[in-house]
Amino acid sequence: MVKEKDIWNVLEKIRDPELGVSIVKMGMIKKVELKGDAVYIECELTTPACPLKKEIEDSIRSELSRIEGIRNVEIKTTAKVLPSRRILPEDILPSVKNIIAIGSGKGGVGKSTVATNLSIVLAKSGAKVGLLDGDIYGPSIPRMLGIKEPVRTDGKKLIPPEVYDIKVISIGFFITEDTPLIWRGPIISGALRQLFTDVDWGELDYLIVDLPPGTGDIPLTLAQTLPNAHGVIVTTPQPAAYSIAMKALMMFKKLNLNVIGVIENMSYFICPHCKNRVEIFGSGGGKELAEKLNVSFLGSIPLDPEVRISSDEGVPIVISNPHSEASKAYFDVARRLAGKLSMISFKLLRS
């Protein structure tokens, strides 16, 4: 007769593929129920977008099926996102577990498009997600998400509009497109701070912050406002990419923000007619760049006219065409990003 203890003994030996630590020691196994020759397992991951979800489930299933007397293994997987940042008592966003600032060394590389699609994909996986448009001179997120209605308030705080299950805030909600902002430094930093403190974000697993282009004052001010955030750099595969990405890396470093990785956007071209993949700048550039910068490579997004068209229409491609190559790329990048944050969280928890 199989005993529950035998099941635990087997589970104990299964390791998280990335961390190499036993899944039991990590506290991932929440329940073991044995009924005759059937066993029911409840497994809690550190992110619903876990890149190793299938691998872990497969290991549990195959290892338990090997026990003599077990014929049926049922696994229920849930997720509870852990904070990857130290949340201090004076933190301005105490109920936000992870803050990810998306930056670049220059404009127009696709930060806002990446920030928008990644936010949606993380929310689709089941996480609670907020998206903050930090581009106060050229906010593009409201248009990319087709948000037109004014922001409501409950008298105390601003209620961020919700689209595709993400909460969104942007300076663009408070100005019209033809009133350029001419605020000076201190007002800007005050306004940016308010986007964090005066908004009812509620509990968030991930807050994605779309930084303005370049490495000037505003991205600096904004990044400074973010308590214990992580940085992600978006690059394009031009030959000058290295020095541009380096600028972004230096900006994050200057602020003591930990850079977790690089995303290469417009990496290769998907021909809209034949759907063939054309490597305009050769392949592997993004990966090499990440190695040179000594950060992780989170993946590449193809240059696909549909990405731009869907953004222009206010329905991002991961919604309008979730099976496209570009959407799959956003899903992969989101999983890698979430996985990376989980590892940081786990190390933080142990330290």
Q: Which residues bind ligand ATP (CB under 6 A)?
A: 104, 107-113, 135, 138, 140, 213, 265-266, 301, 303-304, 307-308, 311
Cα–Cα distances (Å) from 208 to 36, 185, 292, in that order, read: 47, 23, 25
φ/ψ (deg, to 5) at 231:
-110, 145
Among 224, 216, 233, residue whose Cα is nearest residue 256 = 224
**How distant is the alpha carbon of residue 177 from its chain centre?**
28
**Residue 344 in contact with residue 52, Cβ under 8 Å?**
no
**Which helix (H) or strand (E) is 350 found in, with range?**
helix 325-350
**Is position 311 an interface residue for Mg ion (rule: CB under 5 A)?**
no
Report the chain's C-alpha Rg in angstroms: 22
In the chain, what's the furthest Cα-to-Cα distance?
Answer: 76
Query: CB-based burial of residue 271 (10 Å sphere; 0-12 exposed, 13-18 middle, 19+ buried)?
Result: exposed
Cα–Cα distances (Å) from 144 to 125, 157, 176, 336, in that order, read: 21, 24, 15, 24
**Residue 206 in contact with residue 125, Cβ under 8 Å?**
no
**Residue 206 or residue 268: which is nearer to ligand ATP going by CB?**
268
CB of 141 to ligand ATP, least distance (A): 9
CB of 111 to ligand ATP, least distance (A): 4
**Is position 59 an interface residue for Mg ion (rule: CB under 5 A)?**
no
**Residue 98 or residue 311: which is nearer to ligand ATP going by CB?**
311
**Residue 273 or residue 350: which is nearer to ligand ATP going by CB?**
273
CB of 79 to ligand ATP, least distance (A): 28
CB of 275 to ligand ATP, least distance (A): 14
Distance CA 251, CA 244 (A): 11
Length of the chain: 351
User: Which one of ligand ATP, Mg ion, none is in contact with 235 (Cβ closer than 5 to 8 A by kind)?
Assistant: none
**Residue 48 or residue 139: which is nearer to ligand ATP going by CB?**
139
**Residue 165 or residue 325: which is nearer to ligand ATP going by CB?**
325
Nearest residue to Mg ion, by Cβ distance, number only: 112
Distance CA 254, CA 94 (A): 24
**Interaction pattern, residues 110-149, with Mg ion; x per rule: CB under 5 A:** -xx----------------------x--------------
User: Which one of ligand ATP, Mg ion, none is in contact with 199 (Cβ closer than 5 to 8 A by kind)?
Assistant: none
**Interaction pattern, residues 233-252, with Mg ion; x per rule: CB under 5 A:** --------------------
Region 85-114 residues binding Mg ion, contact defined as CB under 5 A: 111-112
**Residue 70 or residue 136: which is nearer to ligand ATP going by CB?**
136
CB of 15 to Mg ion, least distance (A): 40
CB of 192 to ligand ATP, least distance (A): 15
The structure tokens 């701070």 sit at 193
Query: How many Cβ atoms sit within 10 Å of the Cβ of residue 42?
Result: 15
HEC string of 136-195 equals CCCCCHHHHCCCCCCCEECCCCEECCEECCEEEEEHHHCCCCCCCCCCCHHHHHHHHHHH
**Residue 113 or residue 170: which is nearer to ligand ATP going by CB?**
113
CB of 10 to ligand ATP, least distance (A): 45
Residues that bind Mg ion (CB under 5 A): 111-112, 135
